[in-house]
Amino acid sequence: MHRNTIVAANWKMNGDASLISEMTTALNAITISDDVQVIICPSAPYLGALTQANSNSRVAIGAQNINEQLKGALTGEVSALMLKDLSVQYVIVGHSERRSLFAENSELIAEKAKVALAQGLTPIVCIGESEQEREDGNTENVLSQQLAPVLAALESHELFDVVFAYEPVWAIGTGKTASAEMAQQTHRFIREYIAATDANVAEKVAILYGGSVNAGNYQELFAQPDIDGGLIGGASLKVEEFKTICAAE
């Protein structure tokens, strides 16, 4: 089963108008394979500017988070309706930083994914274990607990429009990266877990790897049969390095 490669940039709380200009100039000037979808997820204040500056049809814009409510007295929050109004196409939900720093649980993340889909956004649902959980042999149990609410909340036909991202917490921004073999083994488990709900979905759904992906390791990671691209942090802030990764075949 051939699945397209997704190269998604999570800028987190980084970046500015200068980076938007430099990045879009670089990406607008290159040809990205029809088998590759590039997504850039800046902080919310820059979504409009990035959308206006981007002219490469293979580059989509994503947000880093949404609220589960569509509107209301929720100062500082961003809704799926607002993102839709800005022509945003993707939204990250459940990143480990949202789980650990903002106490978001898997049930809330499933709710956010449902709301995103209802507004025509593609949720990038993040899952991943801590270093201690992996050392204790609990990786599969942790991932199962994170996946189960999402699979329960969504209909099978909705799952076709979800992107999953496996990000081992111990590899995010640390310089540590799961070996290609370790990452593939975990991605295979995730796909098999989804297959227990719907085998057809599991065959077609994209599962990205995140955790210190860079220009030096992306080819080996992306070559694995169950890894369909990357959710990239630090390297996505470096224009030339990210441009190299976007040339993935």
Name the binding residues: 10-12, 173, 212, 233-234
Q: What is the DSSP letter of 69?
A: S
Give the distance from CA 247 to its chain's centroid: 18
Of 158, 155, 245, residue with least CA distance to 208: 245
> Encoding tokens for residue 79?
């809704």
Kindly name the residue from 95, 97, 104, 111 that is annotated as catalytic.
Answer: 95
Q: Where are the alpha helices (DSSP H) in the chain?
A: 17-28, 47-53, 80-85, 96-101, 106-118, 131-135, 139-153, 156-159, 180-195, 199-204, 218-222, 239-246
- How far is the C-alpha of 220 from the C-alpha of 237, rounded, in Å? 21
- How far is the C-alpha of 127 from the C-alpha of 211, rounded, in Å? 12
95 is catalytic: yes
Q: Point out the residues that are catalytic.
A: 95, 167
